[in-house]
Amino acid sequence: MKSILFVCVGNACRSQMSEGFARAMGPKDLVVYSAGSHPAGFVAREAIVAMQGKGIDISEHYSKGLSEIPAISFDYLITMGCGDACPLIPAKHRLDWKIPDPIGRGREYFNQVRDDLERRIRELIESPTF
């Protein structure tokens, strides 16, 4: 059983969409979490709409902080370019995807970020090392 934690600053967009994709595309026993170093307190409506465009419902997701995530060593810790705002979390593999925050940049940009996340997660899950 593999585990992934997606982290961004607000846990309102990028990490939420990533969690949705990983749950939808990964094996049934994949353990997936997302969190923010400074949770926004909401999931962006644009992220929910963008994911609906891919047939994935994240409307029941909520913005959460790192203190709400189990204190385990994850197989993968994937940050979204949050730099120093993302604290050290135990993980076997660490990836920083440096994906810009789409908040305030319009629906088309949200869809671009969504599609980039989908590609990256598909590549990760289908990689021989996963």
Where in the sequence numbering do the catalytic residues fall? Answer: 8, 82, 86
Best CA proximity match to 12, nearest among 51, 53, 52, 41 = 41
35, 14 Cβ separation under 8 angstroms? no
79, 7 Cβ separation under 8 angstroms? yes
**How far apart are the C-alpha atoms of 84 and 107, rounded to whole Å?**
28
